[in-house]
Structure 1
Amino acid sequence: MAEPGAKDMHGNVQRNAAAAEMGTAYDVIVIGAGWSGLMACKYCRAEGLRTLVLEGRDGIGGVWTFTPDQRVGGVMKTTETTSSRCITEISDFPMPADYPQFPSNEQIKTYLEAYCARFSLTEHIRFKENVKRTAKRDDLWEVTTSDGSRWLARHVIVSSGLHQHPNDVSGDERFRDYSGTLVHSAAVKDVSSEWSGKTMLVWGGGESASDIAFETSKVASRVYFCIPNGVWFVPKRVSGWPPFPSLEPKVLDHVTSRLRLWLSPTHKYSPFVYEYLEWAFGFNGHGQEAWRTDAPYQRSFFNKSADVLCRVKSGHVVPKRDIASCRGTMVRFTDGTSAEVDTIITCSGYSAVFPFLDESVPAGTDPRKWFKYIFYNEDPSLAFVGFARPIFGSIPGLAELQSRYVAKVFAGACRLPGPAQRRALTERDARFWDHHFRDTSRRIAGLVDHPLYADQLARLIGCRPKFAKLFFSSPRRWWQAITAPWNGCQFWLNDARHHDRIFATFRRYHGDRVAQVWIFVLVVPLLPLLALRRRLKIGLREHLLRAWRTRRAKRQLAGAKAPAGVALELYSRSEMQDLQ
């Protein structure tokens, strides 16, 4: 145990050292010591950049550090990850072997502390330094903290997180006349004894909403769960792959291999696959009509916190679409029914707000306005890490690639396009993702497809795996690589020095390659059809209709009495060649 006063002495030493350093300019200042900020610091230091991290709290971890203080955002006491450790862990720092597939918030905090120790990051972090102002002064950024300290740097990385500023919906007309207790999910840290025997309502369709509905249903007499826009429920654990059930639950994240990306019809958005998924899993609303969404599969945010569904089956949770109006504690739903509700918990999400950015830095809060969802176009010495949101995957997995890219750009190892080209590419990407997620992009900014966006960044970094080269050097390892679940270590494959570590990670998750083999067996017969569909840019249904017409025409021509000119009027030259 430390002697009395030792902590104060250490604080004085830190402050004195900080005062001596404030007059010198860092290469990079990172705002925030959460998951993203720590990786940004690590990769900047790996590129030889002098880096300082400013953190407002007294420890690392950001929202993954549980605190009972309702004024401070963070996880619930019972929160565990919704993405598996395979797709979430840092590429060069695997999670401990004894961790479960979905670690708890306490385990994540311990893991990040071990990461700091492994790469000596703590000595580069200043705790209890709330950033109040960030402005550009000539060629340097000046960052001012709450105690009046001023720090200078050539570059700034904002990693303050997505879950800092709750969206306030108390003024919404649906809740305006409600007289019961109305709270945002950010203030929910644990199941309150005050909810015992009460009627609760959870409003929202995200994973936090599902977790809260599940937990509150254990003590409340009834929980109404409103999902206004519907949702695709994708359980993070499934009992095998219908029609091939399994006694051991499978981790859905493990069906994220390169083989699936290359061959799986779910990645091609086939309408017939939607019907299969509906039959096999009931993903769209999970069989609840009130929760169905019009957004196509993989074009909307996925909810992987599906434990609440068992509470629906038992009757403790009642699915509803939305609230029409409130009067007192009486809530009227859009389906025409009403109920007395004691407490409403709104899970309306968070806004990415940066109050510390000076008015002279109108970077905005929408990642679609930043180059590759990272760089402020007007001044790319300002970058944002951790604000891209995958519909299926993990924010840390993408934030690591963002950190690698930013560090290389700031170190001069990678070059950004010129201003005009950068803006044009940003607008093009925004149009692409807006169309891709056209049913949800207006509500949730920064949505991306995890593997597609990761590959885009990998190309820019120069670390996209060269699978063809691996195939000719080692077919066995090539097969291991393309059938392994998605893991950030794959982006070190081009460097043979990392192969032992990489393939040890692949072997660690080898049990789920069986599912990939089934995908291969089922999809290979469809490859000619998929290739034809891509070449002609027609839908599968149109292709089948055309084939039917072709067969009918052949039969007609076989016994035709009509002149050839009729056929020429009905078919083009290329089509006639197909018929002959």
Structure 2
Amino acid sequence: MNGQDQRLDVGIIGGGCSGLVTLKELVDEGHRCRVFEKSNVLGGLYTQAYQQGVFVSSHLLTMFSDFVGKDVDILEKPRMLSFIEYAQYLNDYADHFQLKEFIQLETEVKSLWKDFSDQKWKVRLTDDTQIYSFDRIAICCGVFGNISLPTFQNQDLFQGKIKHMKHIQRYEEFQDKHICIVGSGESASDMILAAAQFGQKAYLSIRKDHGFIVPRYIHGDRFGPADLDTSRIHHSIPRAWGVLHTAIDMFNSLIKSYLNCLFYQKGRSTDYDVVRRAGIYMNLKQIRTSNVWTTYGTKNSNIVEALVKYKHKCQRKPGIKQLKAHSVVFEDNTEEYVDEIVCCTGFKTSFPFIEQSEDADDTLKRYFTEAKISHNLYKHCFHPDLGDEVAWIGFARPALGAIPPLMELQARWFALLCSKKLTLPSKAEMNEKICKYVKYLEWQLTPYRVNRLTNLTDYLIYSDDLARTIGCRPNFTRIFFSEPKLWMKLMCGPLLNAQYRLIGPHAKAKQAKDVILKAKWVKQPNILYFCMLTCYAFFYLVFRIESCKPASWYPL
């Protein structure tokens, strides 16, 4: 840390999850902030998505490091929150840290530019009533604002409807229809099951491999969310051994499923058991091209349930070749009658307050166009030509894990940069590190996925990288000798962001320890991961086999 603390005026565009946590961290550092939120409520995307939507990460992984929420039992009885519940959590967060006084609702930013006469960033609102002036800007509008719809051959001939999943509010809209769902992510998983349940026929169109399928819950909802084994010991398994790790993990799950059936269910398999095993076999079928470390996670087994439980009226299909008046022709040349096509094809990043601005110059517009490719920003946050004057918060998506904890670490970093307690590397150094980072991502996640999903990253490696930068990554060796119980929970318990409040700026050690020690954890899979990691570490430390180097033990 160097330099003197300074207090800045910071403008935050967006009052959703990333905007709130950025505001909170900046206020903690003493900066003067104003949030511009175009909707009339806090919560961003989660107030607009389909009403039956449920998270695919448990609240243990999703919650911020220093606010559990009002559900006092959720640490010991973790579950996935609904979108409505999470929107309420964000409101409670804003109340708890007294953030609402800094937020202007129903306020849309029309234009953003830099005035070089006073070196300030200017914000003009859509009503043109006032121009605001800031020292720094945080872009927190998220990646979910603008839908990404594919274009199909002969689309103009199709007489049915083509929708984006964002337009679906209730599953009952599929009643008695022939539905084609495009995509294989978590939203597509929800949509195909709803289409199978409510529709007459349902087709799931997937171009290549599906994501790595993980159920929301390990055994139904009896033993807690599946991401309880998203532990440090698990995510330290070397990425080079993804095929072997996936095979061991999947066969372990299969064996447990059959033993559970044999000893606790009198040899009878439940519907959940059948679906779980089918999902495991689907993962194993594509293990060479898409394993647990090389693709994004589909943390939602509804896709499997739809194909297994409703196989009489739900089918998997390849990509769409062309459309006809009332039917879809797939790449295998099969043709099916379809009333509606629902595209779960994600969103595209856009910054209309720059792109449509009459005030911003061409150079600034170019910088923001380049920023749409998130991994070309320094640590997904900073454009090398703009330095720390503009931060993009919330534009990194972990392949496995939750997005809000990454937002919080980004926000903490930005707040410290604003206070001059930290500094960015030079432009040349940032560009060099960006190139190395993208090459690493292409090695782990394949060039196809990295170039298609430019915000994709590795959950633990990226989190630890930011924590090292901030100075809040715990010293696990010291904790092993001084507090072995805490060490065990840190290594084998779920990856709570509270671990990054044990030390460093704005640490809340006692609160963090209480949360970590109280949180539920699962033992059997982590014993397996511990044995695997011990073997890898031995071959790396003794024989210096680079492919056995544990992930996240060392800086990226």
Both structures adopt the same fold (TM-score exceeding 0.5)? yes
The answer to whether the aligner puts 1:252 opposite 2:226 as a matched pair is yes
Secondary structure, in 3 states, of the residue corresponding to 1:269?
helix
Distance 1:278 1:52, change over 3 A: same
Is the 8 Å Cα contact of residues 269 and 297 (structure 1) preserved in structure 2? Answer: no
Higher mean alpha-carbon deviation, 311-320 vs 141-150, is at 311-320
Higher mean alpha-carbon deviation, 287-296 vs 101-110, is at 287-296
- Report what 1:428 is aligned to: 436
Q: CA deviation at 1:214?
A: 1.5
Secondary structure, in 3 states, of the residue corresponding to 1:441?
helix
Distance 1:502 1:197, change over 3 A: same
- Report what 2:270 is aligned to: none
Secondary structure, in 3 states, of the residue corresponding to 1:218?
helix
Structure 1 CA distance, aligned partners of 2:221 and 2:142?
39
The answer to whether the aligner puts 1:165 opposite 2:146 as a matched pair is yes
Distance 1:405 1:93, change over 3 A: same
Write out aligned runs for 1:137-152 (5 A): 137-138=115-116, 139-148=119-128, 149-152=130-133
Is the 8 Å Cα contact of residues 159 and 384 (structure 1) preserved in structure 2? Answer: yes
Structure 1 CA distance, aligned partners of 2:464 and 2:400?
15
- Report what 2:463 is aligned to: 454
Write out aligned runs for 1:39-438 (5 A): 39-65=21-47, 74-95=48-69, 96-98=71-73, 101-138=79-116, 139-148=119-128, 149-169=130-150, 171-173=151-153, 175-193=155-173, 195-239=174-218, 248-262=222-236, 264=237, 267-277=239-249, 279=251, 280=253, 287-288=281-282, 292=286, 294-314=289-309, 315=311, 316-357=313-354, 358=360, 359-361=362-364, 362=366, 363-364=368-369, 365-380=372-387, 381-438=389-446
Is the 8 Å Cα contact of residues 291 and 320 (structure 1) preserved in structure 2? Answer: no
TM-score scaled by length of structure 1? 0.80
Distance 1:289 1:400, change over 3 A: closer
Match for 2:169: what amino acid? K
Match for 1:114: what amino acid? D
- Report what 2:488 is aligned to: 479
Is the 8 Å Cα contact of residues 385 and 399 (structure 1) preserved in structure 2? Answer: yes
The answer to whether the aligner puts 1:466 opposite 2:440 as a matched pair is no
Is the 8 Å Cα contact of residues 218 and 226 (structure 2) preserved in structure 1? Answer: no
Structure 1 CA distance, aligned partners of 2:533 and 2:478?
24
Q: CA deviation at 1:476?
A: 2.8
Q: CA deviation at 1:443?
A: 1.4
Structure 2 CA distance, aligned partners of 1:403 and 1:352?
19
Is the 8 Å Cα contact of residues 157 and 382 (structure 1) preserved in structure 2? Answer: yes
Unaligned runs of 5+ in 2: 1-6, 255-275, 355-359, 550-556
1:319-378 Cα deviation digits (max 9, x unpaired): 112112221112122233221111111112110100112344122211122111101211
Match for 1:488: what amino acid? N
Distance 1:440 1:143, change over 3 A: same
Q: CA deviation at 1:529?
A: 4.3
Structure 2 CA distance, aligned partners of 1:335 and 1:532?
51
TM-score scaled by length of structure 2? 0.83
Higher mean alpha-carbon deviation, 120-129 vs 310-319, is at 310-319
Distance 1:532 1:482, change over 3 A: same
Match for 1:345: what amino acid? V
1:526-579 Cα deviation digits (max 9, x unpaired): 65446567536599xxxxxxxxxxxxxxxxxxxxxxxxxxxxxxxxxxxxxxxx
Write out aligned runs for 1:15-26 (5 A): none
Structure 1 CA distance, aligned partners of 2:546 and 2:465?
26
Q: Higher relative contact order at CA 8 Å, sep ≥6: structure 1 or structure 2?
A: 2
Structure 2 CA distance, aligned partners of 1:123 and 1:461?
28
Distance 1:247 1:419, change over 3 A: closer
Structure 2 CA distance, aligned partners of 1:389 and 1:78?
23
Distance 1:297 1:534, change over 3 A: farther
Larger Rg: 1
Q: How many residues align?
A: 498
Match for 2:299: what amino acid? K
Distance 1:415 1:239, change over 3 A: closer
Q: CA deviation at 1:256?
A: 2.2
Structure 1 CA distance, aligned partners of 2:216 and 2:404?
20
Q: CA deviation at 1:500?
A: 2.6
1:491-525 Cα deviation digits (max 9, x unpaired): 11226973331222123323424432343246545
Is the 8 Å Cα contact of residues 242 and 291 (structure 2) preserved in structure 1? Answer: no
- Report what 2:269 is aligned to: none
The match for 2:545 among 527, 532, 535 is 535
- Report what 1:555 is aligned to: none
- Aligned identity (percent) is 24
Q: CA deviation at 1:448?
A: 0.3
Q: CA deviation at 1:94?
A: 0.8
Is the 8 Å Cα contact of residues 290 and 319 (structure 1) preserved in structure 2? Answer: no
Q: CA deviation at 1:249?
A: 3.5
